[in-house]
Structure 1
Amino acid sequence: MKRIVLAGCLGLLCGCHADASMTSVDLAAPVAPVTLQQVHRDGAPQVIDGLALQRYTFEAAASPALTVTPPNALTGDTLQVQVQNAMPWAVTLTIDVGGANPDQHLHAQVGLPAGPPQTLVIPLRATSPRQMGMQVAPPMPFDDHGRPVLLATTVEGRLDPRTVRTLRFGVPAPQAPQTLLFGRVEAVAGQALQRAAYTGIVDRYGQATRGQWPQKIDSDAALRAAHASERSALEKAKTPPEDQDEYGGRLDVQNLTATGWFHTQKANGRWHMVTPAGHAFFSLGVNAVAADGGRSYVEGREFMFTGLPPQDGEWAAFYGTDDNRSTERGASRGMAFNHGRWFDFYAANLYRVDGDGWLGAWRTHTLDRLLAWGFNTLGNWSDPALARAHRLPYTRSINIAGTYANVASGLDYWGRMPDPFDPRFVQATDAAVAKASADVRDDPWLLGYFADNELAWAGAGPEGRWGLARGTLAGDTASPAKQAFIADLRKKYVAPETLGAAWGIALTSWSALNATGFAAPSPDAAHPAIADDYRAWLRRYADAYFRTVAEAIHRHDPHHLFLGGRFAVNTPEAVAACARYCDVVSFNVYADLPQHGFDTAAMRALDKPVLISEFHFGSDDRGPFGKGVVSVANEAQRGPAYARFLAAAADDPQIVGVHWFQYLDQPVTGRLLDGENSHVGLVGITDIPFGGFVDAVREANRQQR
């Protein structure tokens, strides 16, 4: 490796000019004061790859750190640090930058891989991959003209970059001593490293360029050959099951009722979903089985892509425009590159294989795959045309939308909570159910309906349990939910002073409670009435929501199941109300085992069947940068994790099915909705299955169906 000269301009790496201002300190021969906290220097500085570096050992302690205080303020918009990890494993390094004022501070955390010295780069401003249109950044370090550069892609806090006063390098709670080598630390003006870190990260097929894996494609011929091979193997393996009814129900469970529709039934202490023919059905589903999941915004960030096809001619069909600049959803808040032109890499790859008939070919082939892999259900957000083929039972989503009022719970990741006390919500629900059921109410292949998805029944943090109650009282005067809550409190307490005494607050008029932004108190042991009143309100709120949806479903479709609301966060009150009005309570469970994602004791007491409507296990060694919500170390571990989860679900007498999220890997540069970009699919962006994982899934499914 050539010596990296950090005392001058870094040329193409930073794009700065020769007269760019910069200041530096040298941790190999420190002149500035350096404070060592449970850290010690090891020996004299040494020269490695032409760099003067000093060894520092961070002791096994809660927060060992070295802090340097430059004699003058470091001025610039980017810090560059010469560093080497001397351990044979990756070490987590935290970087804290303090400014002139106590309230100015930046924090970053990076994983230092083992290996030769590299340049660690920390932007002196808050930043994250969201500012590049995705949730997880490319792998680091990246190669910049032959030099390894490790960019801190997430930096939190606020700082005037002209007034850096302290630099603190720490290793969080190491279990054994960790040795790192440091050299020069520089603050440089005029950096453009973030763009370099994201340049050219996606190839013409939508694959990540900075990695290799068995299914990676390098030519159209290889793509077509891989598909032909898989289809041939799938055709040879086709064997119609002899131990199932036409819907995929098991023939070995007795004493179940045939009603002509999917329904639930408890027999011999176990809940079952039952096919229209009267056979036990454990729902093994896959979410988002659709051909449009490969769309990612390209407008304004064309530098990230190599080989984008022209926008006209045969490729025009795979371009489109969209706008995702919603201010209501926390999921997309702060997301850049969230509107404009997108390209659909997945569909384009299907076209490369099958030409103009790619969509029909995909539908047939996908159903063949799912059946061969042991699945028996099309989960949420799947292509309706797949359902109409009547080869797999399916679910349908009721998407309630309108101009009705809403309530903030403090989480609001997918938006604020619908206000079920607003008559406009009742009208919107009826319209949404009528639309969702119009063409399927008489279809026996339909399992049932989900209502909405991952509503914010609770807020974030330790006080999140009460977020919806406090958010209701913080609403404006016109809020129907707020007026209903105040009416309940007035009926119980009569006088505002009585409520104030019970809650431990000064309240001399009902108008004070009615004010927009009312700061409702947090429950405490000295005032148990607060928690009692909040619980009562949460019960009433959830009851109003689920009752409204259930009544609309029964009005428009008396045949099919209400499968719940796909809880991500919940309260006991919301779950109890769901159990009262729904046929099945659905949970999106992101945990190692299904029982770790919901209150199993509560569900046994409520005596309702449970459907795990989402789960997955991801890794970052197949292209997309993210590992999903629940990660494993590598691709080889995804299959065993799936098998353990499924076995635990099938052994639970309350659980009637599990649905994997999702069929297709998310785009490397992030999906349109919110920039998610994780490897959680059964197939990749080139529609090639992840063989080892699919084999494990097939075997696990075979044992349970």
Structure 2
Amino acid sequence: MIRRSLPVAFALLLTTPLFAAPAQPQTLFNFVRPLDAVQVATEQANLPQLTAEPTADGEVLRRVVFNAAERPTLTLTPQSGDWDWSQTEAMSLRIQNAMDWAITLDVSITSRDGKSLTSRIALPAGPAQTLLVPLAATSPLAQGMRAGPPMPITVAGQRVLLAETVAGELSAAQVSSVSLSLANPDSPQSILLGRFGVQPLAAVQQAAYSGIIDAWGQYNRGQWPEKVSSDQQLREAAVREQAQLKTWLQPKTEQDSYGGWLNGPRFEAKGFFRTEKQGERWYLVSPEGHPFYSLGVNAVSAWQSRTYVEGREGMFSALPKEGEELAIYYGKSNSRSATGANRGRVFDQGRWFDFYRANLQRSYAQPCPAVVPPLAASPAPVEQDVTPCPPPGLDAARWTAHSLDRLQAWGFNTLGNWSDDTLGAAKRMPYTVPLSISGDYATISTGLDWWGGMPDPFDPRFAMAAERAIAIASRDRRDDPWLLGFFADNELAWAAPGAEPKARYALAYSTLRLTTDVPAKRAFLKQLRDKYRNHNGLSKAWGIQLGAWELMEDPGFEAPLPSAEHPQIEVDLQSFQRLLADTYFKTIADSLKWHAPNHLLLGGRFAITTPEAIAACAQYCDVVSFNFYTREPQHGYDFAVLRALDKPLLISEFHFGSRDRGPFWGGVSEVYKEEERGPAYAHFLDKALQEPSIVGVHWFQYLDQPASGRLLDGENGHLGLLGITDRPWQGFVEAVRKVNLQVPGKVLKSTQQPAATQP
């Protein structure tokens, strides 16, 4: 690729080169009047006109065209020396998208020592704005949340596009270049540019987050059809919803007590949920012996919508004052942890507020009845039939009944992971229980450790912790026919992100780097010693020079990468990871068979995983479960491999979010707008029904997350069936209900198998 420099006119030098940037805003170069000491170069990009052009708003800017190529780039460099930006906070660039659609622009700022900061900018169509890129790594986690508010914003009458996520490192006193690029545009894309320079950042950052959350926990600056602006709106919407639920909650005569299909094949009724295969299709079987396809919702809870306010009170425009009625929804917590999910986050402890429960009170609290004074002529006091006013707060019984009404009206039949216990106790809908195993056992880091390190199942303390967790979870549920089953923890670190061997075999490599007081390392060394007998056998198999067996016992031992010349390396890594997975799942399965022998073990809710972990799960669990954040299940894993397991599969998490209903994050699987969520749900469910091994899908989650971030890790996604105001997303739930109600017909039509023999 040929690098083109612009005409000399674009690189005229000032009498004194710019080597230091003051704290105030400063322009270093202007694309409209290119007389500054900056050189502009392009690769697969060009400035097609020698003069600038007026925009629709009357501003004059210069056009740059990025050609259809792998990475068209425009680069700015000092004419001589470097820029010293150590006394300022952000790079600034006046910019406008010249297309009618959004463009994704990559910005890179590099220093002389090779360090660089990178940021990916969503450049919207519309008027010009000033792009600001901080000169230090940052993200919205610095404000306590997963994603920041929509950009651009207006500051002092000017549109500003703040790059909120910047990665990398920079030596700000030696900045050598700034580049703008696009990744693989399929046709030429144009932007318009003006002044380039540096400026302070603090005032803009403060303006970006000031007062962005309103009294109901909604994003203050956005508008959408369901947005609430008064408590009266909440109450009126609640009344309308009740009328709709009465219409939708018709008796389902074609279902048994647990939601099994009466018009499907008959199985033996064993009084508890179980699995059975008929023909090519796996089924969950209800306690009464009918096929059951689990349509679940995770986190159906009134207690998971708190958000930290301490230290960032200015983010909230109308928090209750002390002594006010809604002040009972304040509390204190500490969510600090060393997990990957919480790494780099600020505002993770202290005082919180619960907007969701406050909105429940606004919507459903009954006013106290008036006390009627006795008539003056009465000869004696008249006893008043007055019901005492209940204390303010959540009416748990009302919330439980209402939530179950909603789920059943919307076509769901299962309470997914992390749902409130009161819902399962109501005996209206089958429920699941998480086995959250914690203790002081050893762990193994695979790198990311999103929810923490991988438990060391060879550690006797892990078996004790599992026994304790299972005993507690199964207490009072051992003989409950409404219990669908137990999940074995959630999204454990079975591997590291990526496809390279160090990621694929991260558990094995990490284990060998540990000290021999870690039980997993002792188990791995024993496995190798039993196979090779001595260090010479291992040296030959692995193609290494190992002078003594004891050298492997040293901390930091690095195993070689798999190779065609030495296939035993990969065989041994796989063998250990299978042993570890077998030990983990067998420990849990054995304990569960003792404490709750009638109930299903629903697998490990895999996110990042390995073939060894999946095979072990299939051996010891009744169901293999996956959290798939993909357009369809088949994109989440190789289903040819999963079909070969001949095991029922459950999609224990999936969702589709967007950013146009308040919360700033679109979730792990994002669509462009709210209206696309329903079709995305329908497509995912339809593709799941086409896989005869899939016995259910569970949506994550019931409620939107707080726009300002949940306590656990700052996630703030629009993922829910309803918002923080407790108002359902009407178009979405209507679409969900429609396809949910079609499931029995689609599954039974696809099988057309002869009925099983009646026992």
TM-score range, shorter chain: over 0.9
> 1:27 maps to which residue?
31
Distance (whole Å) between structure 2 residues aligned to residue 458 and residue 314 of structure 1: 49
1:77 to 78, 81, 89: 89
Query: Following the alignment from structure 2 to structure 1, what is the Cα–Cα distance between the partners of residues 446 and 113?
Result: 34
* Structure 2 CA distance for aligned equivalents of residues 686 and 189 of structure 1: 37
1:21 is displaced (CA, Å) by 7.0
Correspondence for 1:552: 591
2:489 aligns with 452
Alignment of 1:404-419 (within 5 A): 404-419=441-456
91-100 or 538-547: bigger deviation? 91-100
Distance 1:612 1:344 in 2: 30
Say which SS state the counterpart of residue 659 (structure 1) adopts.
strand
1:423 matched to 2:430? The reply is no
Q: Do 1:255 and 1:267's aligned partners in 2 also have CA atoms closer than 8 Å?
A: no
The Cα shift of 1:421 comes to: 0.4
SS in 2 for 1:44: coil
Letter in 2 for 1:419: D
Q: 1:136 aligns with which of 147, 165, 169?
A: 147
Q: 2:582 aligns with which of 530, 533, 543?
A: 543
Residue 395 of structure 2 aligns to a residue in which SS? helix
AA in 2 matched with 1:334: G
Cα deviations across residues 112-163 of structure 1 (Å, max 9, x unaligned)?
1122221111111111111111111111101223211100111111113233
CA contact (8 A) 1:22 1:74 kept: no
Q: Contact 2:23–2:200 at 8 Å: present in 1 too? A: no
Tell me if 1:353 matches 2:381: no
Matched residue, 2:348: 338
The 1-side partners of 2:685 and 2:54 are apart by: 54
1:493 Cα deviation from its structure 2 partner: 1.1
1:67 to 60, 71, 75: 75
8 Å CA contact 1:250, 1:279 repeated in 2:
yes
Within 1, Cα distance between the matches of 2:700 and 2:226?
20
Q: Distance in 2 between matches of 1:131 and 1:89?
A: 30
Q: Please tell me whether residue 110 in structure 1 is matched to residue 121 in structure 2.
A: yes
Residue in 2 that maps onto 1:93: 105
**Counterpart for residue 697 of structure 1:** 736
Corresponding position: 1:685 with 2:724: yes
For 2:678, the equivalent position in structure 1 comes to 639
Residue 323 of structure 1 corresponds to which residue in structure 2? 334
Answer yes or no: is 1:174 the counterpart of 2:185: yes
2: CA distance, partners of 1:321 / 1:171: 45
SS of residue paired to 1:587: strand
1:285 pairs with one of 274, 289, 296 = 296
Point out the more displaced range, 472-481 or 161-170.
161-170
User: Secondary structure, in 3 states, of the residue corresponding to 2:240?
Assistant: helix
- Deviation per CA, 1:397-423, whole angstroms, max 9, x where unpaired? 111110011111233111100001001
Alignment check: 8 A CA contact 2:116 2:170 kept: yes
Q: In the alignment, is residue 581 of structure 1 matched against residue 620 of structure 2?
A: yes
Q: Is the 8 A contact 1:60 1:173 kept in 2?
A: yes
Separation (CA, whole Å) in 2 of partners of 1:445 and 1:182: 63
Query: 1:51: Cα distance to partner?
Result: 4.6
1:13 matched residue in structure 2:
none
| Residue 51 (structure 2) pairs with residue 44 (structure 1) | yes
> Are 2:606 and 1:567 equivalent residues in the alignment?
yes
SS of structure 1 residue aligned to 2:651? strand
User: Does 2:698 match 1:659?
Assistant: yes
1:371-415 Cα shifts (integer Å, max 9, x gaps): 111111000000000110000010011111100111112331111
Alignment of 1:222-301 (within 5 A): 222-301=233-312
Amino acid across the alignment from 1:25? F
User: In the alignment, which of 529, 535, 545 is matched to residue 506 of structure 1?
Assistant: 545
1:119 to 130, 133, 140: 130
Counterpart AA for 1:498: G
Structure 2 residue 228 is matched with structure 1 residue 217 = yes
Partner SS, residue 527 of structure 1: coil
Give the residue type in structure 2 aligned to 1:43: L
Q: Please give the residue correspondences for 1:355-370 in structure 2 after superposition, counting only pairs within 5 Å.
A: 355=365, 356=392, 358-370=395-407
1:471 corresponding residue in structure 2? 510
CA distance in 1, matches of 2:63, 2:446: 49
Whether the 8 Å CA contact 1:617–1:641 is kept in 2: the answer is yes
* Counterpart for residue 395 of structure 1: 432
Q: Is the 8 A contact 1:60 1:175 kept in 2?
A: yes
Specify whether residues 358 and 214 from structure 1 end up closer, same or farther in structure 2 by C-alpha distance, changes over 3 A only: farther
Query: Is contact 1:567-1:586 (8 Å) kept?
Result: yes
SS in 1 for 2:570: helix
Q: 1:148 to 1:386 in 2, by over 3 A?
A: same
Report the AA paired with residue 142 of structure 1.
I
Aligned partners of 2:448 and 2:176: how far apart in 1?
35
Q: Distance in 2 between matches of 1:168 and 1:254?
A: 64
* Match 1:162 to one of 173, 179, 190: 173
Report the alpha carbon displacement of residue 47 of structure 1 after superposing the two structures with TM.
4.9
Tell me the residue number matched to 1:11. Answer: none
Letter matched to residue 50 of structure 2: G
CA distance in structure 1 between the partners assigned to 2:316 and 2:351 by the alignment: 14
Q: 2:632: which partner in 1?
A: 593
**Aligned residues of 2:155 and 2:204 also touching (Cα < 8 A):** no
CA contact (8 A) 1:74 1:165 kept: no
- After superposition, the C-alpha distances for 1:669-697 in whole angstroms (9 at most, x for unaligned) are 11111111111100011011111110111
Letter in 2 for 1:272: Y
Q: Paired residue for 1:12?
A: none
Distance 2:323 2:555 in 1: 52
Deviates more, 1:530-539 or 1:179-188: 179-188
Where 2:118 maps in the other structure, the secondary structure is strand
Deviation at 1:173, TM superposition (A): 2.0
Once the two structures are TM-superposed, the CA of residue 630 in structure 1 deviates from its matched residue by: 1.1
**Alpha-carbon shift at residue 338 of structure 1 (Å):** 1.1
- Structure 1's consecutive aligned runs of 4 or more residues displaced over 4 angstroms after TM superposition are 47-52
Per-residue CA distance 1:321-367 (angstroms, 9 max, x = gap): 1112111x111111111111111111110011122353322111111
1:207 matched residue in structure 2: 218
Distance (whole Å) between structure 2 residues aligned to residue 93 and residue 237 of structure 1: 47
2:385 counterpart residue number: none
Question: Given the superposition, is the C-alpha separation of residues 97 and 19 from structure 1 closer, same or farther in structure 2, using an over 3 Å criterion?
Answer: closer
The code of the aligned residue for 2:226 comes to: Q
Q: What is the SS of the residue equivalent to 1:109? A: strand
The alpha-carbon deviation at position 529 of structure 1 amounts to: 0.6
Distance, in Å, in 2 between the alignment partners of 1:618 and 1:693 is 11
Count, aligned residues:
687
Alpha-carbon RMSD across the aligned residues, in angstroms, is 1.7
Unaligned runs of 5+ in 2: 1-20, 366-391, 745-759
- The 8 Å contact of residues 74 and 187 in structure 1, kept in 2 or not, is answered as no
Work out the CA distance in 2 between the residues paired with 1:201 and 1:161: 31
Structure 1 unaligned segments of length 5 or more: list them.
Answer: 1-16
State how far apart, in whole Å, the 2-side matches of 1:50 and 1:150 are. 20
Structure 1 distance, partners of 2:643, 2:46, is 56
Letter in 2 for 1:91: I
Q: Secondary structure at the match of 1:632?
A: coil
* In 1, Cα distance between equivalents of 2:262 and 2:30: 74
Deviation at 1:601, TM superposition (A): 2.0
Q: Bigger shift: 34-43 or 376-385? A: 34-43
With structure 2 as the length reference, what TM-score do the two structures score?
0.88
Secondary structure of the residue aligned to 1:337 is coil
Q: Given residue 72 of structure 2, which amino acid in structure 1 is its aligned partner?
A: P
Flag the 1:245–1:33 CA change in 2: closer, same or farther, 3 A: same
Report the CA distance between 1:598 and its aligned residue: 2.8
Is the partner of 2:307 in helix, strand or coil? strand
Which runs of structure 2 are paired with 1:367-386 in the superposition (5 Å)? 367-386=404-423
Is 1:489 the counterpart of 2:528? The answer is yes
Deviations 1:4-30 (A, max 9, x none): xxxxxxxxxxxxx99737452222222
SS at match of 2:151: coil
> Given the alignment of the two structures, is residue 532 of structure 1 paired with residue 532 of structure 2, yes or no?
no
Deviation string 1:247-282 (CA, Å, 9 cap, x unpaired) is: 010011223110011111112221111111111110
- Matched to 1:630, the amino acid is S
